[in-house]
Chain A
Amino acid sequence: MTGGRASRRGGADLTDRHRPHPALALTGVAYRYGQLRAVDQLDLRVAPGEVLALLGPNGAGKSTTINLLLGLLPPQTGTVEVFGGRPALAVAAGRLGAMLQENQLLPRVRVAELLGFARGLYPDPMPLDEVLDLAHLTGVAGRMTEALSGGQQQRVRFALAVIGQPDLLVLDEPTAALDVAARRDLWAAMRRYVARGRTLVFSTHYLAEADENADRIVVLAGGRKIADGSPAEIKRRVPGRAITIRLPGAAVSPAALLALPGVVAVDLAGDRAQLSSTDSDATVLALARQGLVRGLEVVGANLEDAFLALTGNAKGSPPA
């Protein structure tokens, strides 16, 4: 096991003791690609030890936000601070580690060689055995990176991100393109790392993943922060289910459907109504009481639609 190294720096260093800096602070940050506002006036503070999920559909600005907070993109307006300084300082000190989305592993190198090289870059790296154990890679340490499965490759990339024992770990859609088992393995490793009191910021477009793993969820859409709260608070606002019923004639007004419990948006198409709901059980029971259950379908909501509902761009307007 990998416990027993809860705090390698023996608590906060001097400057931190004087005035604790947030692990991450974005203030009025904006970034646009041409006309497209990828990130728009974003304010975000993450306390040391917090696990924060950046939740949003594709194109919400998650990756741009992550590139900004890592210092890979300079903000066009606003400031980004990591532990009270520029991101580049935190990178140089080995306090900031990251796993980006598009990176492939270096070819023609064994896992242990690659991790051994990475260890040499940091002032206080994890022992090789420890990082292999943490990322469940002990059995494949001697393999070439090309010979690994997708899940194993992703765990090597995770190992590269944590080997320097960064205080702030940033993961951009760490489980994208992984199957269920690989996703579970990776989260087990990530949780074990975070259990040491490190700060984690990760992006995802799965509400369930954010809910299960984060202390706090920030919802991004169109480059803006549209919700910020605990998983329980976010789940109350983000509709997780889409309920479809058949509505022959205009039997019920959209306003009446919106008034049903849990419903945050209503979309009428032909003789079918789609209700976005934050509480599908309550919504279905209410529909049944009104005798509206005809051709009922309940599916996991398409997050894009769910976020549109949240931002008020859906056809139905959210209830007051």
Chain B
Amino acid sequence: MMGYLRLELRRTLRAPGFLIFTIVMPLVMYLIFTNLGAVTGQGDAGDAALYAMISIGGFGAIGALLNYGSSIVADRSSGWLRHLRLTPLSPLRVVLGKALTGMLLALPPVVALCVAAATVNGVRLHPAQWFAIVPMLWLGSAPFVLLGLGIGYLCTAQTVQPANFLAYFGFSLLGGLWLPLPTFPDWLRVIGRLTPTHGYADLPLRVVDFNDSPTTVDVLVLGGWFAVFAVFAVYAYRRSAARRDA
């Protein structure tokens, strides 16, 4: 399975657009958003730099996972997964290999954003805070690798892009990764609080005292969505296997 992981990492890093989509885009968004605040002189630029580091870092990690996970649609339609079925590499290890590769790919956007925050925007945190925030942003994104794989097993080459777009931008927007939840109308804030993206970003935001909602709610929301996405991924995989393309 390590060989599969290596192969997948290599192929993904060669994909045109993957690095642009998952690192350059969040990085540019981050630098523009945070420095716009400084230009217009509104709000506390330091707060914005720290808040956006976490929310857009999470946005980047989720993008990497959805983008990579759903790329399995190409492996299905090309017959590559059928070929792997005729090798000693079991389908379970293929799925595990995909999930692990996705998790490795989710780390660079998180690190890139933290480095940009520290070097460009002058964000300064206690080492303990860095050591809490980075793993939370990285590992907390795990539910989304399941969502991405589910989309990749369920969709066709035609429907995968819109499905990904809806999941990515929908959850990011509703969960407060672009604009903080307090800027939402009340009814939307209730919905936003129940999204996986919100639970995911809230945990590291708590480390730097950006929110006061109880940790247990965030953990329950994130854990609940993990379970939901796991069920979704299993369902999608079984459907694909029944059509003999998984």
Contacting pair B79 A100 (CB below 8 A): yes
Contacting pair A109 B7 (CB below 8 A): yes
Q: Can you list, as one digit per residue, whether each of A178-189 has a CB less than 8 Å from chain B (1) or not (0)?
A: 000000000000
Contacts of B80 in A (CB 8 A): 103-104, 106
Q: A91-B88, A108-B15, A122-B88 are in contact. Are A103 and B7 (CB under 8 A)?
A: no
Contacting pair A73 B244 (CB below 8 A): yes
Contacting pair A120 B90 (CB below 8 A): no
- Which of B6, B78, B86 is the one whose CB lies under 8 Å from A70? B86
A100 and B78 CA atoms in complex are apart in Å by: 11
A164 and B6 CA atoms in complex are apart in Å by: 19
Contacting pair A72 B244 (CB below 8 A): yes
- Interface class of chain A by DSSP: loop
Q: B87 contacts the other chain (Cβ, under 8 Å)?
A: yes
- Which of B3, B82, B244 is the one whose CB lies under 8 Å from A121? B3
Q: A265 contacts the other chain (Cβ, under 8 Å)?
A: no
Contacts of B14 in A (CB 8 A): 108-109
Q: A91-B88, A121-B3, A122-B87 are in contact. Are A109 and B11 (CB under 8 A)?
A: yes
Contacting pair A93 B88 (CB below 8 A): yes
A72 and B101 CA atoms in complex are apart in Å by: 26
Q: B83 contacts the other chain (Cβ, under 8 Å)?
A: yes
Q: A102 contacts the other chain (Cβ, under 8 Å)?
A: yes
Q: Can you list, as one digit per residue, whether each of A83-100 has a CB less than 8 Å from chain B (1) or not (0)?
A: 000000001111011101
Contacting pair B10 A106 (CB below 8 A): no
Contacts of B82 in A (CB 8 A): 72, 100, 103
- Smallest Cβ-Cβ distance to A92: which chain B residue: B88
Q: A160 contacts the other chain (Cβ, under 8 Å)?
A: yes
Contacting pair B244 A94 (CB below 8 A): no
Q: Which of A100-134 contact B (CB under 8 A)?
A: 100, 102-109, 113-114, 116-118, 120-123
Taking the closest CB of chain B, its distance from the CB of A160, in whole angstroms, is: 7
Contacts of B79 in A (CB 8 A): 100, 102-104
Taking the closest CB of chain A, its distance from the CB of B52, in whole angstroms, is: 33
Taking the closest CB of chain A, its distance from the CB of B201, in whole angstroms, is: 32
Contacting pair A108 B88 (CB below 8 A): no
Can you name 14 A-B pairs with beta carbons within 8 Å? A72-B85, A91-B87, A92-B88, A96-B86, A100-B79, A102-B79, A103-B79, A104-B80, A106-B78, A108-B15, A109-B14, A114-B7, A117-B6, A121-B89
Top 8 A-B pairs ranked by shortest CB distance?
A103-B79, A120-B3, A104-B78, A108-B14, A108-B11, A117-B7, A121-B87, A98-B86
